[in-house]
Amino acid sequence: MSQIKAVRGTRDLLPPETELWNAIEATARGVFRRYGFGEIRTPIFEDTQLFARGVGEETDIVAKEMYTWEDRPRAQSEKAQMLTLRPENTAGVVRAYIEHKLGDTGLLQKLYYIGPQFRRERPQKGRYRQFFQIGAEVIGPVSAGSESPLRDAEILEMLATFLDELGVRGWTLELNSVGSAEDRPRYVEALREALTDVAPTLCVDCQRRAVTNPLRVLDCKVLEDQEKINALPKMADFLDEDSRAHFAAVLGALDACGVPYSVNPRLVRGLDYYTRTTFEFTHGGLGAQNALLGGGRYDGLSEAIGGPKAPGIGFAIGADRLVLTLQAAGSTVAGDAEGALLDVYVAPIGDAQQSDALVLARELRRAGLRVELGDGSFRLKKSFEVGNKIARSIVLFGEDEAKSGIVTVKDFKTGQQTKVARSELAGILRKT
């Protein structure tokens, strides 16, 4: 029979790599807690309209990449509902904010999430169809200070702290302001106009983008196009006074806390909800998919999906890419190979000792040690071989040991073999 494999663009995460994932997630939870964030868990699938209206019909994500299906109605009177596996989590968080009337508290809501997202993209290194994000959003009524540029700076400073704590070196923070909802259409118009002459000389993708979504032209990576694209009108020249002052305040606050950045006037990002500050942290080691994380401000998203005015800002880290970066750097945040070994391998000698050995393993495990229980049918040689692969030491447990209460322990590293009383075993193993 033909073998069934994981679906293209999805993959299994296995130990010991999952230790690294756990260490990253634990660091994120720890850092986010210190900044006053609490965890939110939203459903994996949502009403398709949430993304169409939130992320934007024109974006690649909504137009091409969503996993969408019609949910079969349970009764004839019911209407079929279109559902979508979430391609990102910001729209879901804002929906939850509206649905649970979190704005009524009058306080800023600081929410983080960790979980899978789904986009039907062409899989390559660092790009998957099921991938994982670690993200956070700060959202609330204007009266709670949700529009303040300090929130933008605080988020960026928190990200720098998170990456530093994980030991990620060599990241670059690029940021830009895409202006307010009023600034943007004026800019897009100017871009469209400038592109009428230039577009025919650009790559085929840009020719298409010039018509469908001129902002995406700024994303073009084709070498020959760069000079012409750099000469196109700049968003910065279309910002109104408020947006300009807002962006200057964000940069000033970053300077004050010493977070390095560079302004990239071409950073537009692939989701339509952004207003004012947008940013990405990139890492050179990642290759073509070099965005480690991305985010920005979305002052109109809540209203776009039927909620009250609730400006917000947030980010999502591509956890898969963070893992790649840490692995390439030989990170030890999840411990080294030696640390991955169990404390002890309990080897029953003979089938008759199997259940007594289980009792011994239970005692040691309850004392907090990491223990694997061997198999009574193994010959001594095989027990030593297996134990040596997975544990720091081995305890032999035969009929004599069960009777006398004295067991033999061997430390694989030193080769030392000692006899110890069963009652002292946990204490001795903990020290070695």
Where does this chain bind ligand HAM (CB under 6 A)? 88-90, 119, 121, 126-128, 131, 133, 135, 137, 270-271, 291-296, 314-316, 318, 320-321
Look up residue 335 and give its DSSP letter.
-
**CB distance 103 to 97 below 8 Å:** yes
Distance in Å, CB of 115 to ligand HAM, minimum? 12
The smaller minimum CB distance to ligand HAM, of residues 56 and 126, is found at 126
Record the tokens describing residue 418, joined without a space.
């000692």
Rounded to an integer, what distance in angstroms lies between the CA atom of residue 120 and that of residue 126?
A: 14
The smaller minimum CB distance to ligand HAM, of residues 131 and 397, is found at 131
The smaller minimum CB distance to ligand HAM, of residues 63 and 380, is found at 63
What Å distances lie between residue 5 and 8, 10, 17, 123, CA to CA? 9, 10, 20, 16
Distance in Å, CB of 87 to ligand HAM, minimum? 7
**CB distance 334 to 19 below 8 Å:** yes
Record the tokens describing residue 254, joined without a space.
């970053």
The smaller minimum CB distance to ligand HAM, of residues 61 and 361, is found at 61
- 7, 11, 15, 18: CA torsion to nearest 10: -140
The smaller minimum CB distance to ligand HAM, of residues 316 and 360, is found at 316
Ranked by CB distance to ligand HAM, the top (closest) residue is: 318
Query: 418 phi and psi, to 5 degrees?
Result: -135, 155
Distance in Å, CB of 412 to ligand HAM, minimum? 39
The smaller minimum CB distance to ligand HAM, of residues 195 and 319, is found at 319
DSSP line for 116-180: EEE-----BTTB-SEEEEEEEEEE--GGGTTT-HHHHHHHHHHHHHHHHHHT--SEEEEEEE---
Distance in Å, CB of 230 to ligand HAM, minimum? 22
The smaller minimum CB distance to ligand HAM, of residues 273 and 397, is found at 273
The smaller minimum CB distance to ligand HAM, of residues 92 and 141, is found at 92
DSSP line for 277-308: EEEEEEEGGGTTS-EEEEEEE-TTHHHHTT--
Distance in Å, CB of 60 to ligand HAM, minimum? 10
Cα dihedral sign, 44-47-48-52: negative
Distance in Å, CB of 134 to ligand HAM, minimum? 9
Distance in Å, CB of 388 to ligand HAM, minimum? 38
Distance in Å, CB of 317 to ligand HAM, minimum? 6
Rounded to an integer, what distance in angstroms lies between the CA atom of residue 339 and that of residue 317?
A: 27
Rounded to an integer, what distance in angstroms lies between the CA atom of residue 422 and that of residue 367?
A: 13
The smaller minimum CB distance to ligand HAM, of residues 154 and 320, is found at 320
- The residue among 156, 149, 153, 152 whose CA lies nearest residue 171 is 156
Query: 132 phi and psi, to 5 degrees?
Result: -120, 135
Distance in Å, CB of 383 to ligand HAM, minimum? 43
- The residue among 38, 8, 233 whose CA lies nearest residue 129 is 8
**Could you tell me where the DSSP H helices lie in 241-367?**
241-257, 301-304, 319-328, 354-366
Distance in Å, CB of 106 to ligand HAM, minimum? 22
Distance in Å, CB of 128 to ligand HAM, minimum? 4
The smaller minimum CB distance to ligand HAM, of residues 21 and 131, is found at 131
SS3 assignment, position 16 = coil
The smaller minimum CB distance to ligand HAM, of residues 270 and 387, is found at 270
